[in-house]
Amino acid sequence: MSAPLPDAGAKAPAPRASGGRKVVPVAAAAETEQSLYEVRRKIYPRAVRGGFARWRWALVFATQIVFYGVPWLTWGGRQAVLFDLQARQFHIFGLVLWPQDFIYLAILLVISAFSLFLFTAVAGRLWCGYACPQTVYTEIFLWVERRIEGDRAARMKLDASKGARKVLLKGAKHAVWVAIALWTGFTFVGYFTPIRELARSSLALSYGPWETFWVLFYGFATYGNAGWMREQVCKYMCPYARFQSAMFDRDTLVITYDPARGEPRGGRSRSADPRALGLGDCVDCGICVQVCPTGIDIRNGLQYECIGCAACIDGCDQVMEKMGYPKGLIRYSTENALEKGWGGGAILRQVLRPRVLVYSAVLAAIVAATGAALWARSPIKMDVIRDRGSLAREVDDRHIENVYRLQIMNTEEQAHRFTLSVEGSAHLGHVELLTDAREPFFEIAPLATREVAVRVQAVPHDREGSQPITFELVTSDRGGREIHVHEKSRFIVPSGTLHPGRSDR
Amino acid sequence: MSDFTSGFWSYYIAALTLGGIAFCAFILVRMSKRRVSGDPDKTGHVWDEDLDEYNNPLPRWWVWLFWITIAFGLGYLWIYPGLGSWGGASHWSSRGQYEQEVKAAEAEYGPLYQKFAAVDIATLAGDPQARAVGHRLFLTYCTQCHASDARGGKGFPNLTDDDWLFGGSPETIQTTIMEGRNGVMPPFGPALGPEGVLDTANYVRSLSGLPHDAARAERGKKNFATYCVACHGADAKGNQAVGAPNLTDQIWLFGPSEATIVETITNGRNIVMPAHKDFLGEARVHLLAAYVYGLSHPELQRRVAEAK
């Protein structure tokens, strides 16, 4: 056998009870002649109730209320969250981010990645099972399917049938799906273009070409992935599903079947004593397989298809309750715990292991650094552009002049008034900044860029060539706190301009 | 037409491209039909005696993605150029797209330039919108020599001081930008000799009240009367017809230092302003002339500021 990968047991033949009351279609019967490609078997997940299902629904509501609701919020007379690609301004409540702040997006991704590592190390595919949009929308679409077509058995019967009822029910289901998908597409585009205007143009059916494309594209992706593709996305398309095993260790909480307690599995009457029959606690009812959205049998061990949704735990617990057995035949446990028979306390103690602590520390450090960087972020940005064509001018016998263009950007939704000054190396003597402005200060409108051409005059006396200078911009924020922005540049003293005439005369 | 030296290469490349696609399709058909026997859970590959590989077959719908890419590829090759020298059904080319965009831009901005072209330069210099457009044009086409603040540099005149080499009337400025200028000062080093040049330079410095050697200036005055008056005039106030600068006003094209003036007299100078007629066109030059005219007429600029 191969190395013990997480899916090592995936294809192990399941021991079957001789009675075989229920035949659960776990795997297609082995054929001697096989296609190279796998034909998808449609999965009909059975509805399940329980603690974990409630958690899943709680996260469906939490994520979708945020997703559908946030674009409708307003902040100071504008949409609170709006990624205005055309103006290259990204409004997030009071904050306006610019392409220059792209680093924050990178940091956000780093934070997301480390959060994922941390959660996965602690409790496996929590993200996949509860919060991933693929899971969330599949959950919503499944709910619609169930309301219209009925639960697992009814859906299987409907699919096998023919006639007007099937057409009617399927049509109704797809109509609701399309409506949800279009609303999702509309909301998505509403993050990039003002959603109230978008709503008005929806009513008038007057979208622009790009709005039409993205609403339909995102809507189609939702409809296709949550309605049709479902577990295929997780099994074949999602890279995270495949590299998660690298973040697992023997102390990671995963959904496991306890074979020591369950085997040998088999049907029995409620009144029978399983020990007398030589059976374990698993009644082989197949509920855990029927509720699984990816169609696997968790009793075969940890498999790469398992998205960690815990539906099988809820399903099995219900059966255990009915049978009068203790719950938790399928439960969150770890490889070590199963092997060594640990209880909950011992598992929890293992959570604080070095891997988890390192992930937590790194995550906390990045979050703190990002927070500090955002807090200290200057609302005014300055770029110094030296004139390239004209290096330097001799103004008179003493003064050398260089020309600069200062590109000043106000990233805030508040006008600023600023002053400019310059400092240079001692070799430049007295350095002075001159502008054509009639006032000693400049105004800059909210969210605007302003260009100021400035001349810098110096009185160099002992050194030619390129010398460092620093421009300083001083303004104040809303609270009256002074903001200083510094930007370095070079001042050029042309050769031959330091001849004795300059200093003597 | 294509750059290929012979028509053969066009067919060669088209055949390679289509052949490659046909080969992909062939493989897809073959593999879709293929059946394997044996344990369906394993690939049958065994390494190191007992390490065998699980069979995780590709989903069949994935095969359809391959067919879609083939269909897309063929459609793309039909519509766009890609098969040898075949231009594609849409006759698209990057040059054609560029020309289309230029045409669209002309249609958009043309009326604006037309509107400005009808206004005379002096009036236009006080129009804030015209000045804004002119400023953009200036930053794009003029700052390389005249600097961002239009104060020029060594050998490139300051445009803000109302001192003009070739004249500062609106029409002259427009002509300067349209046709370009060439100002030539011949070298006098051979005629004057080093001492003579130094004497003349001191006289030139004395004209604008700069520190100088009085004895040398006295001697230089004679040289000036002989060699320089033809262009710079007896009063040294220059001549705009030939672009000879005024030497009495403290404004220097190349610099006031003695060494610079010595260099100028010894080797002469040759300044060139390129013609922008063909490059920018009359409408843009009209706007630029207005902007430049406004630079040395602060009263017009003030009108702009007040209009704001």
CATH code where residue B197 lies: 1.10.760.10
Q: How high is the pLDDT of residue B304?
A: 58
Spell out the residues 6+ positions from residue A72 whose beta carbon is closer than 8 angstroms to its own.
Answer: A195, A196
Q: How high is the pLDDT of residue B21?
A: 96
In a domain, B98, yes or no: no
- The answer to whether B118 touches B110, Cβ cutoff 8 Å, is no
A313-A317-A321 Cα angle (round to 5): 180
- The answer to whether B294 touches B140, Cβ cutoff 8 Å, is no
Q: Does B257 touch chain A (CB under 8 A)?
A: yes
Q: Where are the domains of chain A?
A: 51-97+132-229, 380-504
Q: Does B95 touch chain A (CB under 8 A)?
A: no
More confident residue, A8 or B56: B56
Q: How high is the pLDDT of residue A13?
A: 42
Give the closest of A1, A393, A405 to B153, CB-based: A393
One domain, residues B201 and B267: yes
| Chain B residues closer than 8 Å to A12 by CB | none
In a domain, B95, yes or no: no
Q: Does B252 touch chain A (CB under 8 A)?
A: yes
Give the closest of A39, A394, A453 to B256, CB-based: A394
One domain, residues B154 and B284: yes
One domain, residues B258 and B289: no
One domain, residues B220 and B287: no
Which position has the token pair 């029959």? A277
Give the closest of A11, A394, A403 to B41, CB-based: A11
Q: How high is the pLDDT of residue B40?
A: 76
Q: How high is the pLDDT of residue B307?
A: 58
Q: What is the pLDDT of residues A473-503, one digit of tens each?
A: 999 887 788 899 999 999 999 887 775 444 4
In a domain, B41, yes or no: yes
- Token pair for B12: 């060669």
| Buried-exposed string B148-162: b where 16+ CB fall within 10 A, e elsewhere | bbbbbbbebbbbbee
Q: How high is the pLDDT of residue B303?
A: 63
* Pairwise CB contact (< 8 Å): A453 & B149: yes
For chain B, give the number of residues: 308
Q: How high is the pLDDT of residue B141?
A: 93
Spell out the residues 6+ positions from residue A132 whose beta carbon is closer than 8 angstroms to its own.
Answer: A307
Distance set, CA B220 to CA B195, B228, B239 (Å) = 9, 11, 21
More confident residue, B193 or B57: B193
| Chain A residues closer than 8 Å to B258 by CB | 499, 501
| Chain B residues closer than 8 Å to A234 by CB | none
The alpha carbon of residue A481 is apart from the nearest alpha carbon of chain B, in Å, by 30
SS3 A383: strand
Report the percentage of chain A scoring pLDDT > 70. 92
The alpha carbon of residue B134 is apart from the nearest alpha carbon of chain A, in Å, by 15
Closest A-chain CA to B142: A389
Q: What is the pLDDT of residues B239-276, one digit of tens each?
A: 999 999 999 988 889 888 888 899 999 999 999 999 99
Mean pLDDT in residue range A137-147: 96
In a domain, B86, yes or no: no
The alpha carbon of residue B5 is apart from the nearest alpha carbon of chain A, in Å, by 43
ipTM: 0.73
- Per-residue pLDDT at A9 exceeds 60: no
Mean pLDDT in residue range A367-387: 92
- The answer to whether A124 touches A255, Cβ cutoff 8 Å, is yes
Closest A-chain CA to B146: A390
Mean pLDDT in residue range A110-118: 93
The alpha carbon of residue B258 is apart from the nearest alpha carbon of chain A, in Å, by 7
Q: What is the pLDDT of residues B29-42, one digit of tens each?
A: 998 888 877 777 78
* Pairwise CB contact (< 8 Å): B256 & A2: no
- The answer to whether B212 touches B205, Cβ cutoff 8 Å, is yes
One domain, residues B258 and B190: yes
More confident residue, A261 or A501: A261
- Per-residue pLDDT at A18 exceeds 60: no
Q: Does B34 touch chain A (CB under 8 A)?
A: yes
Q: What is the pLDDT of residues A319-339, one digit of tens each?
A: 999 999 999 999 999 989 988
Give the closest of B36, B154, B156 to A36, CB-based: B36
Euclidean distance between CA atoms B11 and B8, whole angstroms: 5
- Per-residue pLDDT at A11 exceeds 70: no
Range of the domain at B119: 104-180+274-307
Instruction: For domain A380-504, give the CATH superfamily.
Output: Immunoglobulins (2.60.40.10)
Of B136, B127, B47, B40, the closest CA to residue B304 belongs to B127
- DSSP single-letter state for residue B148: T
- Per-residue pLDDT at A1 exceeds 50: no
Q: List the beta strands (DSSP E) in A352-436.
A: 380-386, 393-394, 400-410, 416-424, 432-434
Dump the DSSP string for B169-235. SHHHHHHHHHH-EEEEE---HHHHHHHHHHHHHHHHHHHTT----HHHHHHHHHHHHHHTHHHH-TT
Give the closest of A7, A35, A499 to B35, CB-based: A35
* Pairwise CB contact (< 8 Å): A389 & B255: no
One domain, residues B278 and B171: yes
Residue A209: enclosing H or E segment and its boundaries?
helix A209-222
Give the closest of B41, B149, B257 to A403, CB-based: B149
Of A276, A214, A260, A240, the closest CA to residue A129 belongs to A240
Report the percentage of chain A scoring pLDDT > 90. 64
In a domain, B155, yes or no: yes
Euclidean distance between CA atoms A136 and A128, whole angstroms: 9
Euclidean distance between CA atoms A43 and B292, whole angstroms: 76
More confident residue, A31 or A377: A377
One domain, residues B138 and B284: yes
* Pairwise CB contact (< 8 Å): B37 & A30: no
| Chain A residues closer than 8 Å to B57 by CB | 35-38
| Chain B residues closer than 8 Å to A389 by CB | 143-147, 153, 156
Q: What is the pLDDT of residues A94-103, one digit of tens each?
A: 889 999 899 9
Q: How high is the pLDDT of residue B305?
A: 59
A25 pLDDT band, cuts 50/70/90, is very low
* Pairwise CB contact (< 8 Å): A38 & B52: no
One domain, residues B131 and B196: no
One domain, residues B218 and B193: yes
* Pairwise CB contact (< 8 Å): A391 & B153: yes
One domain, residues B254 and B189: yes
Euclidean distance between CA atoms B77 and A448, whole angstroms: 45
Residue that is last in its domain, among B38, B62, B79: B79
Specify the number of domains making up chain B: 3
| Chain A residues closer than 8 Å to B156 by CB | 389-390
Of A50, A7, A14, A10, the closest CA to residue A282 belongs to A14
* Pairwise CB contact (< 8 Å): A37 & B58: yes
- The answer to whether B151 touches B158, Cβ cutoff 8 Å, is yes
In a domain, B163, yes or no: yes
Q: What is the pLDDT of residues B71-86, one digit of tens each?
A: 999 999 999 998 888 8
In a domain, B295, yes or no: yes
Mean predicted lDDT score pLDDT of chain A: 88
More confident residue, A20 or A114: A114
One domain, residues B58 and B135: no
Beta bridge partners of B271: B183
One domain, residues B284 and B157: yes
